[in-house]
């Protein structure tokens, strides 16, 4: 089987190709010009292109499906070489920019939500990704290629700023080595040039791995999927809490190196009658006391076969108001692309059920 070119950093490629300066040219073709074959790399000698083609593939992913949402987000289902599938979401936010002449310009900001595993071992009760079980880890190249495919498909200029969130399928810290390699490849200034402070790793709370990642001091952002404020409830929602309880997560977060201008994000998936009561808001405020935190309340996005329900808007607002009034940053997030089965794992499940039609 051919090696995946995007699995390697520029420095590693420089030791694999001769002469080594060719590595930078290959990186440029791959990440700036979105080349899909070595034959396109016209400033490389023909025999070298042929040799590279024998050894490497540039296309580890195949597009199976694309779905557009009314809110501008776009969801992809990609097939891996072994037939497994992963989801990726392109989120589009409009930022207001105020100019000195008094005009306001709207700028599009892209965020790509990438997957790190096929399925997930963590097994959260509310998560559709978990229902399919765990298949395998993605390689760094399979993670990096998700962004490349999305940039190419949307004609996103190589120099446009893009944010990465590891909030797709899988638990990134359960695939730490490959995720760290992907973070490094994403941030290569000669390649995709996504600074580490534009990359956010979201975790269900593997405390020992949070510590390990923190010790690497990469400059990335951290998001904790908390979802519950006492261990008893959290264990029923997220079985991983038996191994890593809330206190161990908070301890690990306190030691995590955070950029001076940033905050650790705590994701709180709100489920009706499960964790939407004011009692939880009070405990949450207490729990995050002393941490440079921001809370993101997420509406639970229901799907067929789940007993969990979407919370009422008033309860979300009340929860948010309680926290913000007491100085804790708190935003409410509608699962983006609600009409296209927003939360990760949902598109893949529909495809298995044969509900969707492929675009490509
Ligand atoms: N495994 C990591 C990253 C992927 S999950 C983690 O758990 O943090 C990304 C986010 O999707 C998590 O915060 C998760 O809680 C959320 N999610 C899962 N199922 C959802 C649903 N049905 N509705 C809304 N969000 C959901
Ligand atoms: Fe895995 Fe995250 Fe889903 Fe939990 S929420 S099962 S950790 S992907």
Instruction: Give the CATH number for residue 1.
Output: 1.10.150.530
pLDDT tens for 168-209 read 999 999 999 999 999 999 999 999 999 999 999 999 999 999
**Number of structural domains the chain divides into:** 3
Q: Confidence band (pLDDT; 50, 70, 90) for 360?
A: very low
* Order of strands, sheet of 104-113, starting from the edge strand that comes earlier in the sequence: 62-68, 74-79, 85-98, 104-113, 162-166, 199-203, 221-225, 264-270, 293-299, 329-333
Instruction: Write a three-state SS string for 325-345.
Output: HCCCEEEEECCCCHHHCCCCC
DSSP codes, 45-66? -HHHHHHHHHHEES---EEEEE
Find out whether the beta carbon of 347 lies less than 6 Å from any atom of ligand 2: no
Task: Please report the pLDDT score of residue 100 as a whole number.
Answer: 73
Over residues 25-39, the mean pLDDT reads: 97
* pTM strictly above 0.75: yes
Query: Residue 147: inside a domain, yes or no?
Result: yes
* Straight-line distance from the first to the last Cα atom of the chain, in angstroms, rounded to the nearest whole number: 25
Tokens of 90: 């392109």
Q: Confidence band (pLDDT; 50, 70, 90) for 103?
A: confident
The closest of 170, 57, 153, 174 to 110, measured between CA atoms, is 153
Query: Residue 354: inside a domain, yes or no?
Result: no
pLDDT tens for 203-239 read 999 999 999 999 999 999 999 999 999 999 999 999 9
Mean per-residue pLDDT of the chain: 92
Task: Please report the pLDDT score of residue 351 as a whole number.
Answer: 53
* Closest ligand 1 atom number to CA of residue 335: 24
| 3-class secondary-structure state, position 136 | strand
Find out whether the beta carbon of 122 lies less than 6 Å from any atom of ligand 2: yes
Of 11, 344, 349, 355, the active-site residue reads 344
Rounded to 5 degrees, what angle do the CA atoms 98, 104, 110 make?
80
Nearest CA owner, ligand 1 atom 9? 167
For residues 267 and 231, membership in a common domain is answered with: yes
- In CATH, what number is assigned to the domain containing residue 331? 3.20.20.70
For residues 53 and 65, membership in a common domain is answered with: no
Look up the domain containing 299 and give its range: 225-339
For residues 69 and 131, membership in a common domain is answered with: yes
């Amino acid at each position: 089987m051919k090696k995946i070119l995007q699995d390697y950093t520029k420095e590693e490629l420089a030791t694999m190709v001769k002469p080594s300066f060719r590595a930078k040219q290959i990186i440029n073709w791959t990440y700036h010009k979105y080349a899909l074959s070595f034959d396109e790399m016209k400033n490389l000698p023909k025999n070298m292109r042929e040799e590279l083609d024998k050894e490497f593939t540039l296309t580890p992913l195949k597009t199976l499906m694309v779905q557009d949402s009314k809110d501008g987000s776009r969801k992809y289902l990609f097939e891996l070489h072994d037939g497994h599938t992963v989801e990726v979401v392109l989120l589009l936010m409009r930022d207001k920019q105020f100019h000195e002449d008094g005009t306001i310009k709207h700028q599009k900001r892209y965020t790509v939500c990438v997957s790190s595993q096929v399925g997930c071992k963590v097994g959260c009760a509310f998560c559709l990704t978990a229902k399919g079980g765990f298949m395998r880890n993605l390689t760094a190249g399979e993670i990096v290629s998700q962004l490349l495919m999305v940039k190419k498909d949307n004609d996103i200029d190589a120099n446009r700023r893009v944010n990465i969130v590891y909030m797709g399928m899988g638990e990134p810290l359960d695939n730490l080595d490959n995720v760290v390699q992907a973070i490094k490849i994403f941030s290569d200034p000669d390649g995709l040039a996504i600074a580490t402070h534009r990359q956010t790793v979201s975790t269900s709370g593997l405390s020992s791995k949070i510590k390990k990642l923190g010790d690497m001091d990469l400059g990335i952002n951290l998001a904790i999927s908390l979802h519950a404020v006492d261990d008893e409830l959290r264990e029923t929602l997220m079985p991983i809490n038996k191994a890593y309880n809330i206190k161990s997560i908070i301890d690990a977060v306190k030691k995590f190196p955070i950029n001076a201008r940033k905050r650790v994000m705590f994701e709180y998936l709100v489920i009706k009658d499960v964790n939407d009561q004011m009692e939880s808001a009070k405990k949450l405020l207490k729990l995050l006391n002393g941490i440079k935190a921001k809370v993101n309340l997420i509406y639970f996005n229901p799907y067929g076969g789940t007993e969990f329900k979407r919370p009422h808007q008033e309860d979300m607002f009340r929860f948010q108001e309680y926290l913000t009034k007491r100085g804790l940053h708190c935003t409410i997030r509608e699962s983006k692309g609600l009409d296209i089965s927003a939360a990760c794992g949902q598109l893949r499940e529909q495809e298995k059920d044969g509900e969707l039609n492929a675009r490509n």
